[in-house]
Amino acid sequence: MKSLADMNDSQLQDVTAEGKHMLFFDAAWCGDCRFIKPQMPAIEKEYNDWQFIEIDRDKYMDLAKDMDVFGIPSFIAVKDGKEIGRFANKDRKTKKEIEAFIDNLPA
C-alpha cells in the first residue's frame, strides 16, 4: 500500500487522476484502524484493480477536512479523479464490510 507520506497533496491529485484508487484514512492512535490494518493486505490482494493509498489523518488534517473525513478509519473511492463512493464514519469496520463497500461501487 502506498502512503501519502510518499507524495504531497498535489501529487495525490495527479496519481488519482487516472485509474481506481482507494484512499484509506487512519491514524496511529486509532484502535479501530489498528483492528482493520492487518486485514488490508488481503483486501488489497482481492481488489488488485484498485490502488490503495494510506493517509494519516493527523499528519494531513487539512486534506481530511477538505474531503470531509472526520471519522476514521475511512475509505474514499476515486475513479479517474472523481469520488465515486465513501465509507466514512466513526465506527469500527470489518473486512466483510469493506469488501461489501467495494463490491457495491459503480463500475
pLDDT digits (tens, 9 = 90+) for 1-22: 777 666 666 778 888 999 999 9
User: Rounded to whole angstroms, what are the CA distances from 41 to 62, 65, 83, 98?
Assistant: 27, 27, 23, 13
pLDDT digits (tens, 9 = 90+) for 77-97: 999 999 999 998 878 899 999
Rg of the chain (C-alpha set): 13
Class of domain 2-101: alpha beta
Report, as residue numbers or ranges, the catalytic residues: 30, 33
Would you list the domain boundaries of the chain?
A: 2-101
pTM of this structure: 0.90
